[in-house]
Amino acid sequence: MSTPSIPVDPPSVTETLTPQKTRRILEAALLTAQEPLAIGELRKLFNNELSAAVISKHLEELREKWHDSGIELTSVASGWRFQTKPDLQPYLERLSPQKAPRYSRAVMETLAIIAYHQPVTRGDIEEIRGVSVSSSILKILAARGWIDEVGHRNVPGKPALFATTQHFLDDLNLRSLQELPPLEAMKSLIDPDNKQPELPLVEPDDACH
Amino acid sequence: MSTPSIPVDPPSVTETLTPQKTRRILEAALLTAQEPLAIGELRKLFNNELSAAVISKHLEELREKWHDSGIELTSVASGWRFQTKPDLQPYLERLSPQKAPRYSRAVMETLAIIAYHQPVTRGDIEEIRGVSVSSSILKILAARGWIDEVGHRNVPGKPALFATTQHFLDDLNLRSLQELPPLEAMKSLIDPDNKQPELPLVEPDDACH
Amino acid sequence: MNDNQAIDAIAAQPIARICGEPLLEIPQDLYIPPDALEVFLDTFQGPLDLLLYLIRKHNLNILDIPMAELTQQYMAYVKMMRIDQLELAAEYLLMTALLIEIKSRMLLPVSPKADSGDERDPRAELVRRLLEYEQMKKAAERLNELPQAERDFSVVQVWIGQKAAVALPDVHLDDLRTAWAAILARAKMNRHHQIKRDALSLRAYMSQVLRELQDREQIEFYRLFSATATVAEVVVTFLAILELAKELLLTISQSQDGTIYVHAIDTGRSA
């Protein structure tokens, strides 16, 4: 089939391109690029017929042109890109309100058990929670980078042992597991006049036993 | 669950926003959006405190502002978006030469039949084209997001019914199917003094058959 | 390739035989040398397209198709196709059959029945299909002329300054605390259940030791102690190793030369 709109290859640039057109091309390329564009990339727009210095000069002019708009031309590690200005962020976020998703109770409890009891097997978690732990729960936490397998317990079946990761600490703004909320506060939740032997709560500073 | 990173809600707009800032916000939203934005979406930027008419007025001004740049503000089926002007495409293609797909006549004819006769089954397409339609053709169009299955015809085999998508209109700069190029009347080719009843030609708005 | 270019190129070949048989009268732009068959097949979308081309090329009134001649020409094509493209030829053969059927019906006297349905010209259905196809063929050309995203223009998409990362649930320490509380509340009702009385920091070191063992089967004992470790850390690490051994999470052995090794439990990576 004939494709009537196949563009004719543009003529050699240096002879025909005005500075305005050069900037229009640079602008369009930067506005449509998915990634920042390095000067070397941008030179391809003009069959490498323009020097890096010339392109840089145009970029500075573009930056100036966009100065008081809602977006700005910036230079980042891998090149140049347009990006929104921070003051507009609160407005833009109204378009896609990030309904903060929540983890289910099962996920949170599993995470808590791994955090406070690590390393634990799936069986340990099931024993503590009193219900079976679906592998999707562990997958969610592993995909988030919060837990990983650190070994296997030497019992029949060699179950995997899970522990929390450095990334988990980072995400929760903790410097170490010691900074996890102390669990003693939980005692208050427990029936005060219960005659059970004290529940064996884990104490963060109770280093050994 | 608290989400501390949610930005402070910007103040009520009507009192504080200048027309300039309003346009900057609209501009930034349209420049960053992945999909065209409908007016209803754009109103969310201002907590729905601006009317659709006011927004439309601003959009017209933005369109005017961008008039002689490398990009243009256009209205397509699912809303407003910025896109590059066609004269720059030959330059932009130098950055990613393999990008633009060009479709064979078989693909384009299949697309035309789906566009003008929708919803149609593969059998319908084959009957019109007089040849079998390979499933790769339908896959190409579905992968591009231009067609999808909208149901099944209640005949033996329950063949799938295909229709064009909103994305198809967007990609062809159309606001609705009514804007498709009008079908050319082939009637004129018939001997004027033949006594045949008028041939049942399909009209573009003759949606089903 | 443009249709007409293809046809013209084909027509330019001065070959006057089809399947070894001389063609008495070669329709100027109809004859296709066998070598060009693939080009030919690429040029036409199918039997309807070919028929349409023949009719257009001869400037025939579409309702006045000279069936005999057309069928003959059509057959010439199909004959060529059958040489090596039998499968492709099938659709064309079907069209030939249709043409012959129409031709034969036209030879029959018109039915005396005045029924409107039977009275139809046998060519009518073919004509309807041809016109419908032609209309779609034209529509496809028009569609192809419309500016197309990516081919003729690009959609602008600027980087959003602080792109909110994929929305992942936020978890706060309070959430962990709450989760733990829920577990304990249940544990209370579930007496026989024993929560191990383990020291958190000890547990952390246990994880650390296991991590070190992950990549190797075994490690010299001393390597598990960081050179910069404080006394307390050394003690806890040591306790962690003992605890791990007790819980059967690792084994400790001593070689002939006195080196102590800590071994990961061989799992064989069972599920």
| pTM of the predicted model over 0.90 | no
pLDDT higher than 50, residue C52: yes
Taking every pair of C-alpha atoms in chain A, what is the biggest distance, in angstroms?
A: 94
pLDDT attached to residue C186: 64
Domains belonging to chain A, first-starting first, are 13-92 (1.10.10.10), 105-189 (1.10.10.10)
pLDDT attached to residue C196: 39
Domain ranges of chain C: 17-110+120-145, 173-270
CA distance A153 to chain B (A): 34
DSSP state of A99: -
Q: How many residues does chain B have?
A: 209
Closest CA relative to residue C98, chosen from C80, C74, C120 = C74
DSSP state of B128: H
- Residue C191, chain A, CB below 8 Å: the answer is yes
Q: How many residues does chain A have?
A: 209
CB contact under 8 A, C207 and A163: yes
CB contact under 8 A, C132 and B201: yes
Confidence of residue B119 (pLDDT cuts 50, 70, 90): very high
Highest mean pLDDT of the ranges B79-88, C225-234, C242-251: B79-88
pLDDT attached to residue B172: 93
ipTM above 0.90, yes or no: no
Cβ neighbours for B82, distance < 8 A, ≥ 6 positions apart: A31, B30, B31, B66, B71, B72, B73, B74, C155, C156
Chains in contact with C via at least 3 Cβ–Cβ pairs below 8 Å: A, B
Angle at CA B22, nearest 5°, toward B20 and B25?
110
pLDDT higher than 90, residue B59: yes
User: Among 3.40.50.300, 1.10.10.580, 2.30.110.10, 3.30.1060.10, what is the CATH number of C173-270?
Assistant: 1.10.10.580
What are A44-53's contacts with CB under 8 Å, separation 24+? A44/B94, A44/B95, A45/B91, A45/B92, A45/B94, A45/B95, A46/A13, A46/A14, A46/A17, A46/A22, A46/B91, A47/A12, A47/A13, A47/B94, A49/A12, A49/A13, A49/A14, A50/A13, A50/A14, A50/A22
- Strand partners for A148: A163
CB contact under 8 A, A89 and C162: yes
CA distance C41 to chain A (A): 13
- Residue C223, chain A, CB below 8 Å: the answer is no
CB contact under 8 A, B6 and A98: yes
pLDDT, tens digit (0-9, with 9 covering 90-100), for A47-57: 999 999 999 99
What are A125-131's contacts with CB under 8 Å, separation 24+? A125/A162, A127/C193, A128/C183, A128/C187, A128/C193, A128/C195, A129/C183, A129/C186, A130/C186, A130/C190, A130/C193, A131/A106
pLDDT attached to residue A142: 92
pLDDT, tens digit (0-9, with 9 covering 90-100), for C235-260: 788 888 888 888 777 888 887 787 88
Taking residue C142's Cβ as centre, other Cβ atoms within 10 Å add up to: 15
Interface of B with A in 54-93 (CB under 8 A): 69-71, 82, 84-85, 88-93
Query: Which of A16, A17, A24 best probes binding to B when mutated, by most B CB atoms within 10 angstroms?
Result: A24
pLDDT higher than 70, residue B51: yes
**A145-159, B72-86, C65-79, C211-225: which has the minimum mean pLDDT?**
C65-79
pLDDT higher than 60, residue C198: no
